[in-house]
A and B are shown apart, each in its own frame.
Chain A
Amino acid sequence: MSSRTKLITFQGHENFRLRLVLATLSGKGIKIEKIRSDDLNPGLKDYEISFLRLLENVTNGSIIEISYTGTTVTYRPGIIIGGSLTHQCPEGTACGYFIEPMLYLAPFSKKKFSIVFKGLTASKNDAGVEFIKWGLIPVMEKFGVREVELHILKRGSPPLGGGEVHLLVNSLIPQPVTVHVLDYHKISAIRGIAYCTRVSPSVANRLVDSARKVLKATGCDTNITTDVSRGEIAGKSPGFGLTLFTESKKVPFRYVVEDIGLAGETPEDVGERVALNLLERIQKSGCLGRNQLDLALVYMVIGKEDIGRLLVNKDQFDEELVVLLRDIKALFGTEVYFKQSDEMDNSMYATIMGVGFTNASKKIA
Chain B
Amino acid sequence: IGSKLESSGVKRIWDINKLLYMININPKDVLSRWRKEEEGLAEVLGGSEIQEIELEHLSEEEQEGEDEDFFTKKTSSQGFESKVSSNLESLDTQSLQKKWGEDGTLLAKLRERFFTSPRK
Chain A interface residues (CB < 8 Å from chain B): 6, 8-17, 34, 45, 47, 97, 124-128, 131, 184, 186-188, 214, 217-220, 249, 256-259, 269, 272-274, 276-277, 279-284, 290-291, 314, 317-320, 322-323, 325-327, 329-330, 333, 335-338, 340, 342, 348
Interface residues of B in 67-120 (CB under 8 A from A): 70-72, 74-89, 91, 93, 96-97, 99-100, 106-107, 110-111, 113-120
A-B CB pair tally, cutoff 8 Å: 157
Interface band, chain B: 35 or more
- Tell me the bound Cα distance from A23 to B84 in angstroms: 21
Per-position 1/0 for B27-56, Cβ under 8 A of A:
110110010001000000000000000000
- Tell me the bound Cα distance from A353 to B105 in angstroms: 39
A290 adjacent to B77 (CB under 8 Å)? no
Residues of B within 8 A of A186 (CB): 114-116
- Tell me the bound Cα distance from A265 to B18 in angstroms: 45
Q: Which 5 A-B pairs have the closest CB atoms?
A: A322-B27, A12-B77, A276-B96, A319-B27, A219-B118
- Tell me the bound Cα distance from A214 to B97 in angstroms: 9
B16 contacts the other chain (CB 8 A): yes
Give the nearest-CB partner of A94 in chain B: B85
A276 adjacent to B93 (CB under 8 Å)? yes
Partner pick for B118 among A8, A220, A259, A348, CB 8 A cutoff: A220
Partner pick for B107 among A12, A218, A320, A330, CB 8 A cutoff: A218
Min distance, Cβ A315 to any Cβ of chain B, angstroms:
10
A125 adjacent to B85 (CB under 8 Å)? yes
Give the nearest-CB partner of B31 in chain A: A317
A131 adjacent to B87 (CB under 8 Å)? yes
Min distance, Cβ A223 to any Cβ of chain B, angstroms:
14
B71 adjacent to A280 (CB under 8 Å)? no
B17 contacts the other chain (CB 8 A): yes
B74 adjacent to A97 (CB under 8 Å)? no
8 more CB-based (< 8 A) A-B contacts, given A125-B85, A322-B31: A45-B83, A218-B110, A218-B115, A259-B88, A283-B110, A323-B78, A327-B75, A330-B75
Query: Given that A322-B31, A335-B17 are contacting pairs, would A259 and B87 also be in contact in the complex, using a CB cutoff of 8 Å?
Result: yes
Chain B interface residues (CB < 8 Å from chain A): 1, 16-17, 20-21, 23, 27-28, 30-31, 34, 38, 70-72, 74-89, 91, 93, 96-97, 99-100, 106-107, 110-111, 113-120
- Tell me the bound Cα distance from A8 to B75 in angstroms: 10
Give the nearest-CB partner of A337 in chain B: B17
Partner pick for A11 among B75, B84, B86, B111, CB 8 A cutoff: B75
- Tell me the bound Cα distance from A319 to B78 in angstroms: 8
Query: Given that A131-B87, A188-B116 are contacting pairs, would A9 and B74 also be in contact in the complex, using a CB cutoff of 8 Å?
Result: yes
Give the nearest-CB partner of B110 in chain A: A283
Give the nearest-CB partner of A321 in chain B: B27
Give the nearest-CB partner of B113 in chain A: A184
- Tell me the bound Cα distance from A184 to B112 in angstroms: 12
Min distance, Cβ B51 to any Cβ of chain A, angstroms:
20
For this complex, 12 residue pairs linking A to B, each with C-beta atoms less than 8 Å apart, are A10-B75, A47-B83, A126-B83, A126-B85, A127-B85, A186-B115, A214-B100, A219-B115, A220-B111, A325-B20, A329-B21, A330-B75
